[in-house]
């Protein structure tokens, strides 16, 4: 593939990824937001994280797979178990990753 | 005071560890894929330098090798990354007192993973712009390191290890969402959003399911909270 063309496309991608990150931070950080907006923002982290986990974590090759043959399903259940039980982030990450590794070897 | 700042920056680095472990192999996988798809060394690395968006980079490589136009690639990237509008908006109240010229540098490093890690710290008053800078640029450095290794050497970790390191980022989201759930209403928002995101994924392309479900989920939380508050007032509570 031609380098000049790729560089131009990648610069276009740079703009397309940077502006969604930049504009809300610049536009909203210096104004006093109404209380109702602040309350809405307070629910946003839980909502975003839940939407990132589901269905991403249980997808294989782009399709949702809830069969026992999907290692991600088991690793996800184990991750939730550890997280709820211990509320320890590092432990959840380590156990989740190790679980994913071991389940794949089975 | 300086000790507090130093501790915060050390904390940012410690918090970045799961991201480092996830981003290096993922970056390497991107670098290898880019080279295998016929992108030369310099543009392959250049994309990681100027884009810093894992999923979009994988998809761009796929689209380009399938003969897509530049316009299609840029548009797809834009829609994939619109979800960061919500994350950036959610972080914005914590940068009131930060000087204007620092904010663009912080914005550069807002990714799913850095957002997931830092928002909890901000909510418990354990972060400021220095924390974000250390976290974001450690993550960026890991992404670049992985990309360069992959593009240069065909460095590849075994498949099972690769997918485990990538999955560990989901485990990180799980750990973080559990820490965020402080009451029943937040739990309800989490469950409802997950259900909506799954449902929407069947008929929405890209990451529209994430954006739409997160928007609707947060709105649901607000509506229930305001409704509950009013009922309490009516009962004289």
pLDDT 10s digits, B139-186:
999 999 999 999 998 766 788 888 888 888 899 899 989 988 989 999
User: Which pLDDT band, with edges at 50, 70 and 90, does B235 fall under?
Assistant: low
Q: Supply the angle between the helices B112-123 and B129-153 in degrees, to the nearest 10.
A: 160
Task: Please name every residue paired with A60 in a beta bridge, in sequence order, or none if there are none.
Answer: A63
Cβ distance B86 to A48 less than 8 Å, yes or no, reads yes
What is the structure's pLDDT at A62?
Answer: 82
What is the CA angle A67-A73-A78, rounded to 5? 140
Please list the pLDDT of chain A residue by residue as tens digits (106 residues): 789 999 999 999 999 999 999 999 999 998 888 999 989 998 999 999 999 999 999 999 889 999 999 999 999 999 999 999 999 888 998 999 999 999 999 8
> Within 13 A of A61's CA, how many CA atoms are on the CB side?
1
User: Which pLDDT band, with edges at 50, 70 and 90, does B236 fall under?
Assistant: very low
Residues B22, B9: Cα–Cα separation, whole Å:
20
A-proximal residues of B, 1-20, CB under 8 Å: 17-18
Cβ distance A17 to B53 less than 8 Å, yes or no, reads yes
Residues B129, B63: Cα–Cα separation, whole Å:
36
Instruction: Give the count of Cβ contacts less than 8 A between chain A and B.
Output: 297
Q: How far does B28 lie from chain A, in Å, by closest CA? A: 18
Q: Is the pLDDT of residue B103 over 90?
A: yes
Q: Is the pLDDT of residue B4 over 80?
A: no
Q: What is the pLDDT of residues B50-102, one digit of tens each?
A: 999 988 898 899 889 888 889 989 988 998 888 899 999 999 999 999 999 99
Q: Which chain B residue is nearest to residue A62, measuring alpha carbons?
A: B201
Cβ distance A92 to B174 less than 8 Å, yes or no, reads yes
Q: Is the pLDDT of residue B230 over 70?
A: no
Work out the number of other CB atoms within 10 angstroms of the CB of residue B38: 11
What are φ and ψ of residue A83, in 5° steps? Answer: -65, -45
Cβ distance A101 to B85 less than 8 Å, yes or no, reads no
H or E element, residue A26: helix A3-28
Q: What is the pLDDT of residues B105-129, one digit of tens each?
A: 999 999 999 999 999 999 999 999 9
Using a CB-CB cut-off of 8 Å, the residues of chain B touching A1 are 37-40, 43, 64
Residues B178, B175: Cα–Cα separation, whole Å:
5
Using a CB-CB cut-off of 8 Å, the residues of chain A touching B167 are 57, 72, 75, 96-97, 100
What is the structure's pLDDT at B208?
Answer: 87
Using a CB-CB cut-off of 8 Å, the residues of chain B touching A85 are none
User: Which pLDDT band, with edges at 50, 70 and 90, does B225 fall under?
Assistant: very high
- Please report, for chain B, the start and end positions of each structural domain, with discontinuous segments joined by +: 2-162, 181-237
Q: Are B47 and A13 in contact (CB under 8 A)?
A: yes
DSSP track, B66-93: TT--HHHHHHHHHHHHTHHHHHHHHHGG
User: Which pLDDT band, with edges at 50, 70 and 90, does B237 fall under?
Assistant: very low
What is the structure's pLDDT at B130?
Answer: 95
What is the structure's pLDDT at B6?
Answer: 83
Task: Please name every residue paired with A59 in a beta bridge, in sequence order, or none if there are none.
Answer: A64
Comparing B39-43, B145-149, B233-237, the range with the smallest average pLDDT is B233-237
Nearest to B137 by CA among B164, B114, B166, B162: B114
Report the mean per-residue pLDDT for chain B.
90
Q: Are B175 and A89 in contact (CB under 8 A)?
A: yes
Q: What is the pLDDT of residues B192-209, one digit of tens each?
A: 999 999 999 999 877 889
The pair of structure tokens assigned to B232 is 């309490």
């Amino acid at each position: 593939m031609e380098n000049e063309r790729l560089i131009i496309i990648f610069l276009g991608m740079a703009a397309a990824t940077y502006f969604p990150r930049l504009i809300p931070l610049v536009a909203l950080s210096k104004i006093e937001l109404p209380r109702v907006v602040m309350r809405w923002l307070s629910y946003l982290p839980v909502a975003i994280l839940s939407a990132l986990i589901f269905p991403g974590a249980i997808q294989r090759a782009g399709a949702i797979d809830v069969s026992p043959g999907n290692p991600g399903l088991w690793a996800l259940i184990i991750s939730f178990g550890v997280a709820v039980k211990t509320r320890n982030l590092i432990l959840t990450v380590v156990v989740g990753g190790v679980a994913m590794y071991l389940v794949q070897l089975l | 005071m300086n000790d507090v700042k130093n501790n915060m920056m050390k904390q940012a680095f410690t918090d970045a560890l799961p991201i480092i472990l996830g981003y290096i192999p993922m970056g390497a996988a991107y670098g290898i894929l880019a080279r295998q798809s016929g992108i030369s060394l310099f543009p392959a690395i250049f994309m990681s330098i100027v884009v810093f968006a894992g999923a979009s980079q994988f998809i761009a490589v796929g689209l380009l090798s399938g003969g897509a136009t530049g316009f299609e690639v840029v548009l797809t990237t834009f829609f994939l990354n619109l979800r960061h509008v919500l994350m950036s908006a959610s972080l914005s109240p914590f940068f009131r007192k930060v000087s204007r010229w620092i904010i663009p540098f912080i914005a550069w490093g807002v990714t799913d993973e850095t957002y997931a890690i830092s928002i909890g710290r901000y909510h418990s008053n354990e972060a400021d712009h220095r924390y974000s800078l250390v976290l974001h640029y450690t993550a960026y450095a890991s992404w670049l390191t992985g990309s360069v290794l992959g593009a240069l050497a065909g460095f590849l970790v075994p498949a099972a290890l690769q997918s485990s390191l990538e999955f560990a980022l989901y485990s990180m989201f799980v750990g973080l969402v559990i820490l965020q759930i402080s009451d029943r209403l937040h739990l309800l928002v989490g469950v409802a959003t997950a259900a909506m995101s799954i449902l929407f994924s069947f008929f929405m392309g890209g990451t529209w399911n994430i954006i739409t479900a997160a928007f609707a989920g947060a709105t649901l939380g607000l509506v229930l909270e305001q409704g509950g508050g009013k009922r309490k007032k009516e009962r004289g509570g």
